[in-house]
Amino acid sequence: MGGFSIWHILLFAVILLLLFGGNRFSSMMGDVAKGLKSFKQGMSDDEDDARKRYEEKRRAESPRLPRDQDTIEVTPVREDPTSAPPSRDDTAR
C-alpha cells in the first residue's frame, strides 16, 4: 500500500539505536534541547532590548518643566465680582 506500519517504524528505531547508541542519541537530544533553550533566550533578550530602547526614547521625549517653576498652578482665578457680567449674544435686538 505504500504506507509505513508500526513494524516498519519499530525496525527503523532499533536500527537508529544500534547505529547511534543510547548514549550518543541522548546526548544529541540534549544538544537539541540546549539549542532550543538558547534560541528562546535570544528571542526574549531581543524583546527586552527593544522595550528598554522604547522606554529610554519615551523618557527623553517627555516634556520638562522650566527650571524656575517646580509646579504648575491649575487653580482657576476668580474675576472681580464688582465688574459687570459679559453681554449675551443670544438676546434679540
Q: What percent of the chain has pLDDT over 90?
A: 11
Q: What is the mean pLDDT of the chain?
A: 78
- Residue 22 in this model has a pLDDT that exceeds 80: no
pLDDT score of 59:
81
pLDDT score of 36:
93
| DSSP one-letter string for 14-81 | HHHHHHHHHHHHHHHHHHHHHHHHHHHHHHHHHHHHHHHHHHHHHHHHS----TT-SS---PPPPPPT
Task: Express each pLDDT in 52-82 by its tens digit.
Answer: 888 888 887 766 555 555 667 777 777 666 7
- Residue 34 in this model has a pLDDT that exceeds 90: yes
